[in-house]
Amino acid sequence: METTEADERLKIFGGCMKTRNVQALAADHNALTADILERYIRPEMAVDDVLLDNCSEEIPVIDMSTLMDEVSREEEASKLKFACEDWGFFQLVNHGVPEKVIEELKEDLMGFYDLPLEKREEVAQLPGDLEGYGQAFIASEEQKLDWADMLYLFTQPPHFRNYKHWPSQPPSFRDSLENYSNATYKVAHSILGFMATNLGIKRETISEIHGSQTVRINYYPPCANGHDKMIGLSPHSDGCGLTLLLQVNPVSGLQIRRNGKWLPIVPLPGALIVNIGDALEILTNGRYKSIEHRAVINAKEERISIAALHSPSFEKTVGPLAEIVGEGTPLFKSVTMTEYTKLFFSQKKLYGKKMVQLLKLNP
Ligand code: OGA
Ligand code: NI
């Protein structure tokens, strides 16, 4: 029965402590008392905030249409290889997600955030659940908080969709998200295929493992009196295998850890930002590495992003692939995706390269 399957997932994910809606807090100057503001102020921003010179390095740009074309493929595939080995992050252009699909989703997301709080909270997370509108990784009343609201949804496989968590306003929201999910799922699997070929293994190997997609929609309100002391999304690497990030409005905020410093990423118009997550680092036995990143906030403008997170299916094993380890030594433990997910969410905070650290075998 459908409910038992959803119940199973509840047990795997656990829930999150309820917290204030940040969009509402940002909109009401009286609500943001010194006490509340304090919960969002991050002392580490003062010491940790070393930015790499914006112009010194640019993340690689991969052109999907060149990759799809048999004549031009080889050179683009080697660019992809370099991007995966050296960066763990790249921009993907001409990715094939139709502009209409992206525009419709953007419009519906803006529409959702324009709704009054009570309407948005119709899809609020329920106690003990992570899906829906709220936040993740909050375990205490003292813990520092991220300046953002999250809408987290299961999107693939289709029978995992739990529509009670999907906004029904604007009325086209669900269709728009479904279309976007289907299109990005295809792109992600195509990229996973090229990655496998680059790694010298069968094209389908990594793709076949990654049967799941969730989306994490991030809303970062502006904050005039604290934007440089707050964080929108704490430093983390993604627990999944492959992330495709779409910037919904043209406000920057994503920064990636590069040579010990934070490098701001300015998305190219229409591009998807692709990054490697912990599960892929583990599957490739460290040949591809997940990269820490964070989101900072803006003094005046809101920022919205949507991360499509592609992960191994629950019954699959997350561990170094035998074809890649070969005669070498596995660097990580192997666990089922169910165990992996439980571990990921049982640690109620985001930090560094969490899953890579937790599963590393001692040398
Ligand atoms: C994420 C993420 C970055 C951003 O959702 O995992 O890293 O720019 N988002 O919103
Ligand atoms: Ni992330």
CA 218 to chain centre: 9
- Mutation pick for ligand 1 pocket among 152, 215, 216, 242 (CB with most ligand atoms within 8 Å): 216
CA of 32 to the centre of ligand 1 (A): 25
Q: Which residues surround ligand 2, an ion (CB under 5 A)?
A: 238
Cβ pair 236, 266 in contact under 8 A: no
Which residue's structure tokens are 């969709």? Answer: 161
What is the CA(245)–ligand 1 centre distance, in A? Answer: 7
Mutate to test the pocket of ligand 1, among 305, 309, 353, 355 (most ligand atoms within 8 A of CB): 305
Q: What does the alpha-carbon distance between residue 292 and residue 224 come to, in Å, rounded to a whole number? A: 26
Q: Tokens at residue 258, please? A: 């590069």
Alpha carbon of residue 360 to chain centroid? 22
Q: Which atom of ligand 1 is the closest one to the Cα of 243?
A: 6
Q: Is the CB of 215 under 6 A from ligand 1?
A: no
pTM metric for this prediction: 0.94
Please count the other Cβ atoms lying within 10 Å of the Cβ belonging to residue 212.
22
User: What's the pLDDT score for residue 1?
Assistant: 43
Read out DSSP for 5-28?
HHHHHHHHH--------HHHHHH-
The two three-digit tokens of residue 83, written as one number: 């991007």
Are 311 and 279 in contact by the 8 Å Cβ rule? The answer is yes
CA atoms within 13 Å, Cβ hemisphere of 112: 30
**For the CA of 238, the nearest atom of ligand 1:** 6
The residue nearest atom 8 of ligand 1, judged by CA position, is 254
Q: Which ligand is nearest to the CA of 278?
A: 2
- Tell me the C-alpha distance between 266 and 95, whole Å: 17
Q: Residue 46 class from Cβ within 10 Å (0-12 exposed, 13-18 middle, 19+ buried)? A: exposed
DSSP code of residue 251: -
Helix (H) or strand (E) holding 308: strand 303-311
Which of 75, 295, 279, 274 lies closest to 190, judged by CA? 274
- Are 218 and 295 a contacting pair, CB within 8 Å? yes
Does the beta carbon of 294 sit less than 6 angstroms from any atom of ligand 1? Answer: no
Which atom of ligand 1 lies closest to the CA of 293? Answer: 7
Q: Digits of tens for pLDDT over the chain (363 positions)?
A: 455 666 776 666 666 667 889 999 999 888 888 888 888 998 877 665 566 655 567 899 999 999 999 999 999 999 999 999 999 999 999 999 999 999 999 999 999 999 999 999 999 998 778 899 988 776 677 788 999 999 999 999 999 999 999 999 999 999 999 999 999 999 999 999 999 999 999 999 999 999 999 999 999 999 988 888 899 999 999 999 999 999 999 999 999 999 888 999 999 999 999 999 999 999 999 999 999 999 999 999 999 999 999 999 999 999 999 999 999 999 999 999 999 998 888 876 777 888 999 999 975
